[in-house]
Amino acid sequence: MNKPELIETLKGQIIERLNLEGMQTSDINENEPLFGEGLGLDSIDALELIVLLEKEYQIKIEDPKEGKKIFHSVNSLADFIIAQKA
Amino acid sequence: MKSPALHITKHVRIKGDKILLNGEIVFQSESINLSDFLNSAYRNTGLNYPKYFKMDNLAKASILAAHYILNDIEQEIQTKSERISICLSNSSSSLDTDLKHLKSVEDPSNFFPSPAVFVYTLPNIGLGEICIKYKIMGENCFYVFEKFNAAFLSQKIHISFADENTEMMLAGWVELFENDIDILLFLTEKSEKGLPLETEIIENLYTQF
């Protein structure tokens, strides 16, 4: 899967996993922040994203301090997955 | 000057495929699935509260019932947030969501519990969602009974109003399990209008539908 495909897949998984009702993948800008502004996700959503990474991509975040950087946006999340799978 | 007696000024009933506000049907759906019913009812209200879709069914039903009662007095509520109490009750506690959580952890080879499901494995979370949405900060409590207990609710409301700080109280029964929903929520105020706060009246509101 190349990066644009991964980004599209991630957007779909985020919508489904976080119950973002009425939202389409095209509504998510991959460069916008996931938390605070942008999608406005909360702390429970952050935990759901960690579970999503483990379940769908078999990736565990070893250093919690990295979380903020990894989950900044869909783009940064995709970069992290690609780096882990390389 | 003597305060007005306690009266039930609004009541909502959700059972089967209907929602009744003060005895009048305000929503009806042919959905055979409770989740679909709750989502259809939400859209029908015109509410814009995206967090609704992240809630479990018990919290959704609690928010929905509260909406019918509190929506047109939302501004008033916020001016007396610490003087509004809530007392809810049911018989299934949070079992509906507890079982969903159990399903996600019973297979050790596929152990992926959902934090968003887990946070609703307490019955009073729906009550908390009402408090968050309407900024209610008074006394709140949740009780689990074998069946609807009008006498207890009546007594509890009288006790709460014995504290002169209490101006309004939202109380009732929010029972939900799998595809069955059985809700009676009502607002009590010191008022000249409404139905007198008596066990028999509360019982009638519950059995009328």
- Provide the pLDDT for residue A69: 92
B122, burial (CB in 10 Å: exposed 0-12, middle 13-18, buried 19+)? middle
pLDDT tens-digit readout, B186-201: 999 999 999 999 999 9
Mean local confidence (pLDDT), B159-166 = 94
* Interchain pair A21, B53: CB under 8 A: yes
CA distance B50 to B42: 10
| Pairs of residues, one from chain A and one from chain B, whose beta carbons lie less than 8 Å apart | 27
Contact indicator for B195, B8 with CB cutoff of 8 Å:
yes
Give me B149's structure tokens.
């207990």
DSSP per-residue string spanning B74-112: HHHHHHTGGGEEEEEEESSTTHHHHHHHHHHHS-GGG--
pLDDT value for B95: 98
pTM of the model: 0.91
Residue A40: which pLDDT band, with cuts at 50, 70 and 90? Answer: confident
Place B1 in a pLDDT band, splitting at 50, 70 and 90: low
User: Average of pLDDT values for B49-66?
Assistant: 95
Q: What is the pLDDT of residue B96?
A: 97
Q: Is B43 on the interface with A (CB under 8 A)?
A: no
A20 vs B contacts (CB less than 8 Å) = 50, 53
* Beta-carbon separation of B114 and A19 below 8 A: no
Q: Give the list of residues 6+ apart from residue B104 with CB closer than 8 angstroms, or none.
A: B111, B112, B113, B114, B117
Interface membership of B35 toward A (CB under 8 Å):
no
| Predicted complex ipTM exceeds 0.85 | no
Q: How high is the mean pLDDT of chain B?
A: 95
Nearest alpha-carbon partner for B142 in B124, B168, B125, B118:
B124
Give the helix/strand (H/E) hosting A44.
Answer: helix A43-57
Say yes or no for a CB contact (<8 Å) between B54 and A54: no
Q: Which among A40, A41, A39, A86 is positioned nearest to A59, based on CA atoms? A: A86
